[in-house]
Chains A and B, each alone.
Chain A
Amino acid sequence: MNLHIDGHRNENLGVLKLSGEIDAYTAPQLKEELLALVEEKREVEVDLLKVNYMDSTGLGVFISALKLSKEKEHHLKLINLQENVYRLFNITGLNDVINIENTVKGELS
């Protein structure tokens, strides 16, 4: 029940690969790392392939990251969302405002 955050950076692009669960316990750590990356890099990608659980605390983190990216004129993109995770973006209407590429089913151990 933890979240593992793996960050990669090159010149303009920052990538965060996440694995585990995003909830009230793990969201603060994600927020800190993601906001730092959005502040620093023009293009930021968050790979959620191995995120098997997320709730509204995760939505909150991505909204604050999106706000910061607009402010800085940077770009934020979420990729490889599991169906149950994408569903929350869909129910809340956030899929219309956040750039989401590619949803997947499976590939989880």
Chain B
Amino acid sequence: MKEAFDFVEMKLPAKSEFVGVLRLTISGVANRMGFSYEEIEDLKVATSEAITNAVNHAYYEEDSGEVTIGFGLYEDRLEVMVADRGGSFDLQEVKEQIGPYDERETVEDMREGGFGLFLIDALMDKVEINNNHGVIVIMTKFLYENEVGQSDDQISTTQ
């Protein structure tokens, strides 16, 4: 059986002044679904990180394009997709750069960027990145209002 869900899609100019517009939108969507205050804060940071990455790609490539954002509102989770059609990046290289700080690192060696994906990964329950045509980040956050038996049910009902 196909799972029922609502889908919301928006396109924003790949400009930093629209990052805040996406935050307002995700707050509204997540609030409607019943996410807690803390979870909504997590969602705001994670989606801002994703669109900021997309905006930066557009900037470096001098392509003032658009970013497409899709929200999949399911019974038990919210899926957020952020897609930019711009060029691709080296995913392996990006993965190697992410992670928390190591106390042994000297201040001079500390990187100033590259925390975006790390935060997305830390704040969301599931993250997928597709890098074939532009970059697509798909992030999932589960609604834990009826936690009892959820994990068991999920395994048996998911096809």
Seen from chain A, the residues whose Cβ lies within 8 Å of a Cβ on chain B are: 1, 21, 23-25, 53, 55-57, 59-60, 63-64, 66-67, 70, 84, 88, 91-94, 96-97
Q: Pick the residue among B48, B56, B111, B119 that contacts A23 (CB under 8 A).
A: B48
Instruction: Point out the residues of chain A lying under 8 angstroms from B44, CB to CB.
Output: 53
Give the size of the chain B interface in residues (CB under 8 angstroms): 32
Main secondary structure of the interface of A (DSSP, over half): helix
Interface string of B39-67 (1 = CB under 8 A from A): 00100110011001001100000000000
With A91-B122, A92-B115 given, name 15 new contacts (CB 8 A). A1-B20, A23-B16, A24-B55, A25-B17, A25-B19, A55-B48, A56-B49, A56-B52, A56-B116, A56-B119, A67-B110, A92-B118, A93-B102, A96-B101, A97-B103
* Min CB gap A71→B, angstroms: 8
- Chain B residue with the shortest CB-CB distance to A1: B20
B147 at the interface (CB under 8 A from A): no
In contact, A63 and B110 (Cβ under 8 angstroms): yes
